[in-house]
Amino acid sequence: MKEKFLEKLKYEYNYSDLTINGYDYEITKFLDYLNDNHLDYRKINLDMIRNYLKYLDNLKYKKNSVSKNLSSLRSYYKFLTEEKVILNNPFKNISNPKKDKKLPDFLNYEEINKLFDCADTTTTLGLRNRCILEILYDTGIRVSELVNLKISDIEFDRKIINILGKGKKERIVYYGDYLQEVLEKYINDSRKYLLNNKSSEYLILNNNGSKITTRGVEYIIDKMVNEAAIKHKISPHVLRHTFATHMLNGGADIKSIQQLLGHESLSTTGIYTHITNDVLRQEYLKNHPRSKLN
């Protein structure tokens, strides 16, 4: 039944391979526990779940990891009830532990400019890499949305990109003159060279002229981070955090940022207010003459 559930996530909900692998990992963890304890996955009760949570606690699992596991199992067992494998979802009323507060990482303005400077736009791959950076930072889209982006999704005259996000939800993102210039150069020069007389509907291509993968984008970002001598770990998702943080610092309202990011809940976007508040606090303590005693 697990494989059928994962197929539903892929084909009905349009989840990325990375997300599906996460569900697979979390569900398998629970099924292995049941198997080790000779328990039937179809006959789960609250006492069994409590014992499982104690087991995770003994393994020193962090609250965020436990929450991720419970959320995956809640979805899986909801699927099992829909398939009439079980009558009730035993995870329905199990609350996730309160999450450990962790602010998302983001790049400051100097760091993002260092990254851009690393892309040599006089070369085929350098121009392609600059295009990847510009799209992720200018629009805040997810890396899974980037690799699935088609040329037909872009309205060049209006500087609009139509995004098909998580759960097949559609949204519009906007971009400016910098990305417009890079896009036109990439499509007219680098992309044609990468295609090498082949055809593809996808915007970003790998060295062989095929659709790039999320891992391929991660590899490119890693390489550029090393060249820019940025000390902390940067993933494509950090560029999404950077987009939101810089938008908020620039005066954008939180509701607009929520819509651009495609967040279902405003509370998810609200994490960025903590970042900007922390930045403001540091600036105050550093610059105000009466922020601390001499």
Which residues belong to the active site?
Answer: 142, 166, 237, 240, 263, 272
What residues have CB less than 8 Å from 57, skipping those under 6 apart? 66
Helix axes 236-249, 214-227, angle to 10 degrees: 70
Where do we find the tokens 């990468």? 194
Closest alpha carbon to 107 in 221, 198, 195, 258: 221
Where do we find the tokens 């680098």? 190
Q: What b-and-e string marks burial along 190-202, b requiring 16 or more CB atoms within 10 Å of the CB?
A: bbeebeeeeeeeb
Where do we find the tokens 């499509």? 187
Separation between Cα atoms, residue 260 and residue 249, nearest integer Å: 16
Separation between Cα atoms, residue 175 and residue 135, nearest integer Å: 8
> 170: which strand partners?
164
C-beta of residue 69 within 8 angstroms of C-beta of residue 30: yes
C-beta of residue 114 within 8 angstroms of C-beta of residue 205: no
| 267 CB burial (10 A radius; 0-12, 13-18, 19+) | exposed
Separation between Cα atoms, residue 244 and residue 153, nearest integer Å: 22
Closest alpha carbon to 57 in 39, 69, 45: 69
